[in-house]
Amino acid sequence: MSADAVVRMAAGQATDCTPLAVWALESRQFDTLRSLDFFGNFIRRKCFRSWHQASKQQRHTYVMQAGLHARALLHTMAGVDGSEVH
């Protein structure tokens, strides 16, 4: 950082020089966006949505497997030819 610019240097990349006035403006814009509810809670909301979808998928898989086991049990109780076993 100098008196009139912010310089970004990274190994193996070109040097990026941003005038201080532009950097200050972009910094304020970034802070303003982060203060909005949508952007401020984005990571938290994304994590919750991923957990919720995985939970629903797990519950669906469990219910489907339980249904298959129940059908197999009913099929066995009914006998191979479909007649009921007494």
Helix (H/G/I), strand (E/B), else coil: 26: helix
Q: Are residues 68 and 31 in the same domain?
A: no
pLDDT at 53: 96
- What is the per-residue pLDDT across 14-66, written as a single tens digit (0 to 9) for each? 888 899 999 999 999 999 988 888 887 888 999 999 999 999 999 988 888 88
For residues 54 and 82, state if they share a domain.
yes
Q: Are residues 49 and 85 in the same domain?
A: yes
Write the CA distances from 77 to 37, 66, 68, 70, 74, integer angstroms: 57, 16, 14, 10, 5
CB atoms near residue 18 (< 10 Å): 13
Phi, psi of 36 (to 5 degrees): -70, 145
Q: Are residues 52 and 34 in the same domain?
A: no
pLDDT for res 1: 64
Task: For residue 49, give its domain range.
Answer: 42-86
pTM, to two decimals: 0.44
